[in-house]
Structure 1
Amino acid sequence: MQTGADPAASDSLHVSLVAIPEAVVSTLGGIFDVMNAFAVLPAASDVIRGGPPFRVEIVGVTAEPLELASRVPITVQRSIASLDHTDIIIVPSVLLPADGWRKGRYPELIAWVRAMHARGALICSACSGLFLLAETGLFDGMDATVHFGYADAFRASFPQVPVHPERVLVVCGRREELISSGASMTWHDLVLYLIARHAGASAAQAIARFFALQWHQDGLAPYIVFEGRRDHGDTAIQTAQEWISSHFSVANPIEEMVRRAGLTERTFKRRFTQATGVSPIAYIQRLRVEDAKRRLERTDMPVDEISWQVGYEEPAFFRRLFKRMTGLAPGTYRRRFRMPDYARPAKG
């Protein structure tokens, strides 16, 4: 679509892909190419009737060249000032600076998103794009998801938005018009959802096959690495955490942590939960499962042996715990995350 054309003059839905200097080029470019596929790829257009379901434009505060977070230049095709209607707004992943997200830098964008929402537009974030959209206030009190690596920073900046980083895609709002996707490549799930919603399941399946995209149907829990909170300032609990980080597989680890902390068991459990956000037994279970994940990824060790190595004598209990915490059985996790043979360095 040419810059200057009227988005409302076609039956295709107009998609505004927002570009700001913090945007990540891989997400922005990937979303553009996949949603624009119906307009440029015969194999994609063959599965729909009529014209392309979407017309995608990169929009921004001004229509001019823009350098993104990785210093790759792109061209903003249209300024938001020239758009008084759009059907779908997508904010791609953003890269947070060392001092975190700084609010108030894009007042024109925030006002425009609010106005477009009031006129019926879907508002979508991919990964950390939620930081920008949260400034609109539209997600206040609404469930959402964001990259698990940014979840704590997001909660600190926007405590009024409940986020669930283990979830792949969250759709909420009275019109199901507020959509967020989780970590990094879950933009695949976002665009496939939008295609299925507006062009049909067959179109989404055809696009998924053509680009080899996959739905993250098992959620994001398998990807999340547990790191116990250490910034709480409770020295006795920190001492226990330091010890358990390398002794989680021993028998009766809580008794030893209590002894090392120099507290009564009841006081220790209360302070530990208050400081870390999880109970001592849950903390130990997460450390053990995290170690098991690494062993499954990097070794051929049988699951029963891994169970014993991380501190569980009963393999059946370990298997149930592992699946409850990661969403996958140990064997499935190994197949999913172990480096495939074709990608391994040749020996000798």
Structure 2
Amino acid sequence: MHPRTETGSAPLQVSLLAIPEAAISTLTGVFDVMNAFAIVPPEEGAPWTPPPFAVEIVGLSAGPLELASGVPVTVQRSVAAIEETDIVIVPSVMIGPDGWQKARYPELVTWLEAMHRRGALLCSACSGIFLLAETGLFDGMPATVHFGYARLFQAAFPDVPIFPERVLVIAGRREELITSGASMTWHDLVLYLIARHAGATAAQTVARYFALQWHQDGLAPYIVFEGRRDHGDSAVAAAQAWIAEHFSVANPLVEMARRADLPERTFKRRFGSATGLSPIAYVQRLRVEDAKRRLERTEASIDEISWQVGYEEPAFFRRLFRRVTGLSPGAYRRRFRMPDFGQAGRGV
């Protein structure tokens, strides 16, 4: 293996794995940022000679490869020609409604296992974990994935504990199994790898140069709540359909149980079993989701929004909102509200 990057030492070999399902934005973004040390001015006292990483696009065979968007890239080297590498990164992949088709790339899974045995870090950006999970190396290990793919991933790989609200998860005895969450958290993955192998100063310099940001508040603020509907309990489904339109009513649990024509205790048990949430927790998530849209799109005060979604006590609403999203209502509004220059008819 190559030594960890220090002044004058050999660059770490980074193998960026391209498959037809890969998203070009993630693949090329990772490639450009990790290869950028030739153009990013180093901080004083931190020369990058040679650069800390040597990044190449690898795949089943060298040559042109059309990615999920239809845009071609050039695979620079076949994995069959790579006996060892320091870091493997699987970029985000596009997954259809039928989920990930296992065993499509047995040669790549075998190669990933071999690289891990020889000491390589295995990293995924977003949904790249679907391919890495086929190695079995992530069984019992915490990981993250795009929250939109979380249920598909759990169904495909039930032995991998998944935390879609987390930006970056580092696992394994050598901290060699690294996953990043939704879409643009490849920024966090790349900055982490730079900090780990080239130092914090290098990571900060690259972040400034590309205007990259760590997602320090996690991904909970980005997740749109969608209650489980595939449970097959018609009484619970009817209650869900009704409460989706009437979540601001007083005493929602009593009203849902009445409409389901079930004793309250029985309804609570069946609802929790079907959806994974208690009725009250479910209603709270619906109310917070509606509050998020109002914070993004209206000028209403936080106290007024609290009342509109069903809470007479603004202090309780604020605490609940922070618990669910990780941000205060005011901080959420500042982050997600459309800036003036982004609204129709306005310029910078």
So what's the TM-score if we normalise by structure 2? 0.96
Q: For each residue in 1:120-159, what CA deviation from the matched residue of structure 2 results, as whole angstroms up to 9, or x when unmatched?
A: 1000000000000000111010000000000000000000
Structure 2: how far apart are the matches of 1:230 and 1:112? 39
RMSD of aligned alpha carbons: 1.4
Deviation at 1:296, TM superposition (A): 0.1
Q: Which residue of 1 aligns with 2:339?
A: 340
Question: Is structure 2 residue 333 aligned with structure 1 residue 317?
Answer: no
Aligned residues: 340
What letter matches 2:97 in structure 1? A
Match of 1:246, SS state, is helix
> Equivalent residue of 1:43, what SS?
coil
2:41 aligned partner, one-letter code: A
CA distance in 2, matches of 1:171, 1:318: 34
Report the 3-state secondary structure (helix = DSSP H, G, I; strand = E; otherwise coil) of the residue aligned with 1:225. coil
Partner residue of 1:236? 235
Does structure 1 residue 280 correspond to structure 2 residue 279?
yes
Matched-pair contact (CA < 8 Å) for 2:43–2:201: no
Relative distance call for 1:42 and 1:264 in structure 2 (3 A) is closer
- Give the equivalent residue in structure 2 for 1:96: 95
Aligned to 1:182: 181
Tell me by how many angstroms 1:99 deviates. Answer: 1.9
Partner of 1:43: 41
CA distance 1:98–1:284, change in 2 (3 Å): closer
**Matched residue of 1:245: which SS?**
helix
Q: Does 1:22 align with 2:21?
A: yes
Measured after TM superposition, the shift of residue 64 of structure 1 is 1.1
Matches within 5 A, 1:143-222: 143-222=142-221
Structure 1, unaligned runs of 5 or more: 1-5
| Amino acid in the other structure paired with 1:35 | M
Aligned position for 1:330: 329
CA distance in 2, matches of 1:313, 1:50: 62
* Structure 1 residue 48, shift from structure 2 partner: 3.2
Deviations 1:210-238 (A, max 9, x none): 00000000000000000111111111111
Question: What SS class does the counterpart of residue 20 from structure 1 fall into?
Answer: coil
- The amino acid of 2:201's aligned partner reads S
Other structure's SS at 1:308 match: helix
Report the residue type matching 1:306 in the other structure. I
Taking every aligned residue pair, what percent have the same amino acid on both sides? 73
Specify the alignment match of 2:116 in structure 1.
117
Task: Determine the C-alpha separation between the residues in 2 that align with 1:97 and 1:303.
Answer: 38
Q: Which amino acid aligns with 1:149?
A: G
Does the aligned pair in 1 maintain the 2:122–2:177 contact within 8 Å?
Answer: yes
**Contact 2:188/2:213 (CA < 8 Å) preserved in 1?**
yes
For 1:237, give the aligned amino acid: V
Q: Which runs of 5+ in 2 are unaligned?
A: 4-8
- The Cα shift of 1:45 comes to 8.0
Question: For the Cα contact (< 8 Å) 1:37–1:44, is it kept in 2?
Answer: no
Offset, 1:345: 1.2
**One-letter identity of the residue aligned with 1:278:** L
Q: Does 1:301 align with 2:291?
A: no
**How many Å separate the matches in 2 of 1:325 and 1:91?**
30
**2:132 corresponding residue in structure 1:** 133
Q: How do 1:6-85 residues align onto structure 2 when only pairs under 5 Å count?
A: 11-39=10-38, 41-44=39-42, 47-85=46-84
Give 1:27 shift: 0.2
Q: What displacement does 1:51 show?
A: 1.0
Superposition map of 1:237-252 within 5 A: 237-252=236-251
CA distance in 1, matches of 2:333, 2:42: 34
Q: Using the alignment, how far apart are the partners of 1:175 and 1:237 within structure 2?
A: 45
**Cα distance in 1, alignment partners of residues 26 and 43 from structure 2:** 23
Q: Deviations over 1:241-269 (max 9, x none)?
A: 11100110011111110100000011000
Structure 1 residue 7 displacement after superposition: 8.1
What letter matches 1:206 in structure 2? T
Q: Which residue of 2 aligns with 1:3?
A: none
